[in-house]
Amino acid sequence: MRSHDRVSRLAVLDDGTYELGLITGKTLKIFVCECYSFGVAEYIETINQLGELDGVIISSTWCGYTPDAKKLCRSKGVGLFAIRDFMAALNKPKFWMHLNEQEVTDFKERGWL
C-alpha cells in the first residue's frame, strides 16, 4: 500500500486496523481481514468491535466476501475488497463504489445495478 501513488502514509493501529493517509488529505481507517468468508454478520461484528471503518480488505486469495456484504458496505460508504481491487479502487473519488468485472456481472444478475 505504501507504494501506491495515492497513498501518502500508512500507520499500523490495533487488531488488524491501519490508518491510510491519501494524497488528497483524507485519512482512511482500514481493517485487514484474514477470515475465510466475510459476510454481513462478520461486518457487523467487526464494526461493533473496532468502530466505524472506511474499508475492509480481504488479505488472502483463498478467502473472500459475500455479495450481500459488498452491497451493504457500498451502501454505507465502506469499501470491501480483495487487496488487488482495493489498490484499483484508491484511484477513484468514491473508492467504495468500485466493482471488479465479476462483481459487475453478479450485481447485474441480482438486479443491483
Q: Would residue 40 count as lying in a domain?
A: yes
Its pTM stands at: 0.91
Q: Could you read off the pLDDT of 63-101 as tens digits, one per residue? A: 899 999 999 999 999 999 999 999 999 999 999 999 999
**What is the per-residue pLDDT for 61?**
80
How many structural domains compose the chain? 1
Distance CA 33, CA 16 (A): 7
**What is the per-residue pLDDT for 36?**
85
Q: Which domain holds residue 102?
A: 7-109
Residues near 88 by beta carbon (within 8 Å), at least 6 away in sequence: 98, 100
Q: Could you read off the pLDDT of 46-58 as tens digits, one per residue? A: 999 999 999 999 9
Q: Would residue 52 count as lying in a domain?
A: yes
Q: Would residue 1 count as lying in a domain?
A: no
Q: Would residue 94 count as lying in a domain?
A: yes
Instruction: Say which amino acid occupies 46.
Output: T
